């Protein structure tokens, strides 16, 4: 997902890039619409790790601690958002106002997610899971879009103050928050380490098999749930007949992203289980790591290790290319050459950081 995103954010500026893959204006779906949602969903998956750690230790951090930690994670992203804002305005860089607004950008969306998630965690005392919280938020947001003037305000309202200038970014944030929570619920399911090593004797292998089967059924079950909910929300005959809008990040968009990513993770799991079964029979962490290194592409591992830093670098490279090359006038061969050189440089940095055991935490 990250590699395809890095390719697309530059490729979309060239004529060679198929327009059907670019972000749609208001209604519909495309590859890049899925990309931005998947980025938020995957961030939610990873964000479940500290929650799992708390539960394993049998303790829950107070709200003040969660907010303090979340703000520490948010600050670098918000700084990046302001840097992007100043650079785009200062360099007169091409931008689509209807995507996020006049001043808002994707880094602001990512930066505001952690503190809001920390606040919403308190609701888990009432709701059974992050998925339930995501659905509640998505449904309430959609009801407001359908029963008030909010939809018209987002799509056609005048831009005469700070809120109206950035209305797409501000209100779509609630949809992205729902996507993040859906991803966090998925992470709670797929990230816990196997318990089989703590069970001695002949039950070890049996326990691991049972856990893998349970995980497979749970992943398949949730994939079907998200697909069914998406069908129910968008089908004109049997459902509500709603249209997907990435611009508003409405309920159908949230369900579309959650369903697609859940199915994709299920497919990854099936590949892992069928092609690398020995990974699950490892008796110690060292053996597991050796099998992991053997089963995982070095390039994919490198991108995964410093994902956000590489994504930031990709944005810088994209800006540099656009400021030095008239992308709309470049021919096919030159376009491919530029994209290959761009991805080659990006991959060299990612692999180099991994080779020197460098992890950049933002």
Res. 266 pLDDT band, cuts 50 70 90? very high
Residue 182's contacts (CB-CB under 8 Å, 6 or more residues apart) are 41, 44, 130, 131, 134, 226, 254, 257, 258
User: Is the predicted pLDDT of residue 362 greater than 80, yes or no?
Assistant: no
Give the CA radius of gyration of the chain: 22
CA–chain centroid gap for 98, Å, is 21
Q: What is the pLDDT of residue 202?
A: 46
What are the tens digits of pLDDT across the range 3-29? 999 999 999 999 999 999 999 989 999
Q: What is the pLDDT of residue 205?
A: 55
36-40, 144-148, 287-291, 341-345: range with lowest mean pLDDT: 287-291
Q: What is the pLDDT of residue 123?
A: 74
Average pLDDT over residues 182-202: 70
What are the tens digits of pLDDT across the range 297-322? 889 999 989 988 999 999 999 989 98
Average pLDDT over residues 65-76: 87
3-state secondary structure of 249: coil
Tell me how many degrees the CA angle 339-343-348 measures, rounded to the nearest 5. Answer: 150
Tell me what the pLDDT averaged over the chain comes to: 88
Predicted structure pTM score: 0.90
User: Is the predicted pLDDT of residue 361 greater than 90, yes or no?
Assistant: no
How far is the C-alpha of 295 from the C-alpha of 291, rounded, in Å?
A: 6
Helices 130-147 and 251-275, packing angle to 10 deg: 150
Q: What is the pLDDT of residue 201?
A: 43
322, 93 contact by CB (below 8 A): yes
Residue keyed to tokens 């059974």? 128
Percent of the chain with pLDDT over 70: 93
How far is the C-alpha of 193 from the C-alpha of 344, rounded, in Å?
A: 34
User: Is the predicted pLDDT of residue 196 greater than 50, yes or no?
Assistant: no
Residue keyed to tokens 């994670």? 73
38-42, 168-172, 188-192, 247-251: range with lowest mean pLDDT: 188-192
Q: Measuring CA to CA, how many Å separate 299 from each of 135, 169, 347, 352?
A: 35, 33, 7, 10
What are the tens digits of pLDDT across the range 123-138? 777 777 899 999 999 9
106, 170 contact by CB (below 8 A): no
User: Is the predicted pLDDT of residue 203 greater than 60, yes or no?
Assistant: no
Exposure string of 126-136, with b = 16+ CB inside 10 Å and e = fewer, is eeeebbebbbb
Q: Is 293 exposed, middle or buried (0-12, 13-18, 19+ CB in 10 A)?
A: exposed
Residue keyed to tokens 């292998």? 205
141, 174 contact by CB (below 8 A): yes
Q: Measuring CA to CA, how many Å separate 203 from each of 278, 280, 322?
A: 17, 14, 59
Exposure string of 346-359, with b = 16+ CB inside 10 Å and e = fewer, is bbebbbebbeeeee
Average pLDDT over residues 103-108: 92
């Amino acid at each position: 997902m990250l590699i395809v995103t890095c390719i697309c954010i530059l490729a979309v500026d060239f004529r060679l890039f198929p327009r059907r893959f670019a972000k749609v204006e208001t209604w519909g779906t495309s590859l890049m619409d899925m990309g931005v949602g998947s980025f938020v969903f995957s961030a939610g998956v990873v964000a479940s790790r500290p929650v799992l750690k708390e539960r394993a230790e049998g303790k829950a951090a107070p709200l003040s601690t969660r907010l303090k930690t979340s703000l520490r994670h948010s600050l670098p992203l918000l700084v990046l958002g302001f840097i992007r804002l100043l650079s785009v305005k200062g360099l007169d860089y091409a931008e689509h106002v209807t995507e996020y607004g006049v001043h808002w950008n994707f880094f602001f969306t990512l930066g505001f997610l952690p503190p809001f998630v920390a606040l919403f965690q308190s609701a888990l005392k009432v709701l059974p899971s992050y998925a339930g919280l995501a659905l509640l938020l998505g449904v309430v947001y959609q009801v407001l879009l359908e029963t008030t003037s909010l939809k018209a305000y987002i799509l056609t309202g005048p831009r005469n103050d700070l809120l109206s200038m950035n209305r797409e970014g501000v209100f779509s944030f609630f949809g992205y928050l729902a996507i993040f929570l859906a991803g966090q619920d998925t992470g709670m399911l797929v990230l816990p380490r196997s318990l089989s090593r703590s069970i001695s004797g002949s039950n070890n292998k049996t326990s691991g098999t049972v856990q893998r089967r349970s995980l497979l059924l749970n992943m398949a079950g949730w994939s079907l749930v998200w697909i069914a909910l998406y069908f129910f929300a968008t089908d004109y005959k049997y459902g509500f007949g709603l249209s997907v809008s990435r611009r508003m990040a409405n309920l159908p968009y949230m369900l579309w992203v959650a369903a697609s990513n859940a199915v994709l993770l299920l497919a990854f799991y099936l590949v892992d289980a069928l092609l690398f079964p020995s990974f699950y029979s490892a008796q110690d962490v060292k053996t597991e790591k050796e099998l992991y290194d053997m089963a995982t592409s070095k390039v994919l591992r490198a991108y995964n290790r410093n994902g956000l830093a590489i994504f930031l670098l990709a944005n810088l490279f994209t800006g540099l290319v656009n400021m030095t090359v008239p992308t709309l006038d470049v021919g096919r061969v030159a376009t491919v050459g530029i994209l290959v050189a761009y991805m080659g440089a990006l991959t060299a940095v990612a692999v180099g950081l991994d080779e020197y055991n460098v992890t950049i935490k933002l």
